[in-house]
A and B are shown apart, each in its own frame.
Chain A
Amino acid sequence: AQKVTQAQTEISVVEKEDVTLDCVYETRDTTYYLFWYKQPPSGELVFLIRRNSFDEQNEISGRYSWNFQKSTSSFNFTITASQVVDSAVYFCALSGPLIRRLTFGEGTQLTVNP
């Protein structure tokens, strides 16, 4: 069975602070994929990133960066110099090798205050 845990239910920061969202996963698959989605107040789910289990290289995209550590089964997401527009619920998700069903974590509500 697959499981994704996002232990941080809510995080509140002040604009320009860096913030890291934690994600821990469990799977028996040797090949799997990890995802992050953003759900802004408008409600849609916005794809942010996909990583496969064989690629542990960290990735940076603008103010966003992701740290994948297979040894600790973690796939953490860092926003540098946060902005008010980053306020949203962020979901970490996991799929097996065929990327069919996504198993989502509970989500982390990030609030960035001006």
Chain B
Amino acid sequence: DAGVIQSPRHEVTEMGQEVTLRCKPISGHDYLFWYRQTMMRGLELLIYFNNNVPIDDSGMPEDRFSAKMPNASFSTLKIQPSEPRDSAVYFCASSPGDFTFFGPGTRLTVL
């Protein structure tokens, strides 16, 4: 299996622009997670899905952030409008229920 796939790997954008991060989980995994890593806050869970349904979005920082999972093989995390403080590494992860496997991350820089 190719593992969790994220795209793009790097994104540089200007404040106010819309940013969309993409994730393809490992086939057969029922759970999908979006984590964010920053120097100030470390690794924190933003949202997770079970069978494509959002279960816990309490970590989503504000309404500018939204996540979708239209099918079992694809999820997006969208930031609109983006702000410099959104600069971070965003990890997508998937799990069959016992082990969590992380993607390589998307490094987002908002200028």
Knowing A99-B95, A99-B97, A101-B56, the reply to whether A44 touches B102 (Cβ < 8 A) is yes
Residues in A with CB closer than 8 Å to B99 are 47, 50, 99
CB-CB contacts below 8 Å: B18-58 with A: 31, 33, 35, 42-45, 48, 55-56
Knowing A43-B105, A45-B91, A47-B100, the reply to whether A104 touches B43 (Cβ < 8 A) is yes
Residues in B with CB closer than 8 Å to A43 are 89, 104-105, 107
Closest to B89 in A: A43
Residues in A with CB closer than 8 Å to B89 are 43
Q: Top 3 A-B pairs ranked by shortest CB distance?
A: A45-B102, A104-B43, A101-B45
Chain B residues near A (Cβ < 8 Å): 31, 33, 35, 42-45, 48, 55-56, 89, 91, 93, 95, 97-105, 107
